[in-house]
Amino acid sequence: MSIEVKDVLKVYGKQKALNKVNFAIQSGEIVGFLGPNGAGKSTMMKILTTYISQNEGTVKVNGYDTLTNPLEVKTSIGYLPEHNPLYLDLFVKEYLNFHASIHKVSEERISEVVDMVGLTPEKGKKINQLSKGYRQRVGLAAALLHDPEVLILDEPTTGLDPNQLMEIRGLIQEIGKTKTVLLSTHIMQEVEAMCDRVIIINKGEIVADKTLEELLENQEQIIEVEFDLRIEKQLINQIVHIKKADNIFDNTWHLVFETKEDMRSKIFDFAKENGLKTLQVQIKSNNLESLFQSLTN
């Protein structure tokens, strides 16, 4: 087991930030730690990385207890904090050398990691000259230098533009092939894009712990579609996977499908086959988002 959290309680003053939290993560899993702002994600991550300690309960990383063996825990973990505190005036190489010296890591390993995270073309620049996406790569490189078994990433894609987002997600998945990854996020799609499993936390308590497969089973998809002409419900009910169809106004329909497949292209095909045009097709929600909302409202 890579991470074991048992009955963890953390209070700030009178507020319970974590209330009897339990979960375990196996070696090699990529797990999303999902919850709205203030749910307790950062607090849990800070405890895992030994930055703060819990009031009650036990936490083990790679078999080492965070309270009794913090050094071994630190060696086992690479941590990318939410507001990655990079020293903007340093050159990429200087910054990584600084981190490497803490962990007594060789020059060769620095180059290897720079290459691994795709930093090679930017390695001669100062950190303040880098885009947010490349700064995240620098943070990831620093977290990976000592070749930890477990990576803890706090909101690793916050503030990235769509291209950077895709790149960093791809990189995390690549890293996840050889390491255990726990990443926090408040966005359900992040979990869908990267994780094997999700642990949902709300107000300091774990409210769901499921594999992505379990989450995607029996998925519902709600689509709103506007056709150019009036049509009969009978006809709409012929679209594959349809569970419910409501004519909400004029030629606009609210459709519920029982499938994880994106039904938009099937709706386009249906319209074409029946001599209709689609003026608007919009996914309103899917099961994952509504599940997240109902668990964390």
CB of 153 to ligand ADP, least distance (A): 13
Determine, following the binding rule CB under 6 A, whether residue 40 of this chain makes contact with ligand ADP: yes
Radius of gyration of the chain from Cα atoms?
Answer: 23
Q: Which stretch binds ligand ADP (CB under 6 A): 37-45, 97-105, 122-130, 216-224?
A: 37-45
The strand pair at 180-185 and 150-154 is best described as: parallel
Distances (CA, A) of 278 to 15, 27, 258: 52, 47, 21
Distances (CA, A) of 124 to 39, 82, 98, 121: 39, 25, 15, 8
Q: Which stretch binds ligand ADP (CB under 6 A): 36-44, 91-99, 191-199, 245-253?
A: 36-44
Q: How many residues bind ligand ADP (CB under 6 A)?
A: 11
Determine, following the binding rule CB under 6 A, whether residue 37 of this chain makes contact with ligand ADP: yes
Of the residues 21, 23, 25, 35, which one makes contact with ligand ADP according to CB under 6 A? 35
Determine, following the binding rule CB under 6 A, whether residue 62 of this chain makes contact with ligand ADP: no
* Spatial contact of 39 and 296, defined as CB atoms under 8 Å apart: yes
Amino acid letter, residue 89: D
C-beta of 13 vs 275, nearer to ligand ADP: 13
Give the distance from CA 127 to its chain's centroid: 25
Reading across the β-sheet that carries 64-65, which strands appear in turn? 15-25, 3-12, 56-61, 64-65
Determine, following the binding rule CB under 6 A, whether residue 297 of this chain makes contact with ligand ADP: no
Tokens of 208: 């769901």
Determine, following the binding rule CB under 6 A, whether residue 291 of this chain makes contact with ligand ADP: no
CB of 25 to ligand ADP, least distance (A): 18
Determine, following the binding rule CB under 6 A, whether residue 205 of this chain makes contact with ligand ADP: no
- Three-state DSSP state, 62: coil
Of the residues 41, 169, 197, 260, which one makes contact with ligand ADP according to CB under 6 A? 41
75 phi and psi, to 5 degrees? -65, -30
Determine, following the binding rule CB under 6 A, whether residue 43 of this chain makes contact with ligand ADP: yes
Quote the DSSP letter at residue 126: B
C-beta of 84 vs 286, nearer to ligand ADP: 84
Of the residues 5, 8, 17, 183, which one makes contact with ligand ADP according to CB under 6 A? 17
CB of 46 to ligand ADP, least distance (A): 8
CB atoms within 10 A of CB 82: 14
Which chain residues interact with ligand ADP by CB under 6 A?
12, 15, 17, 35, 37-43
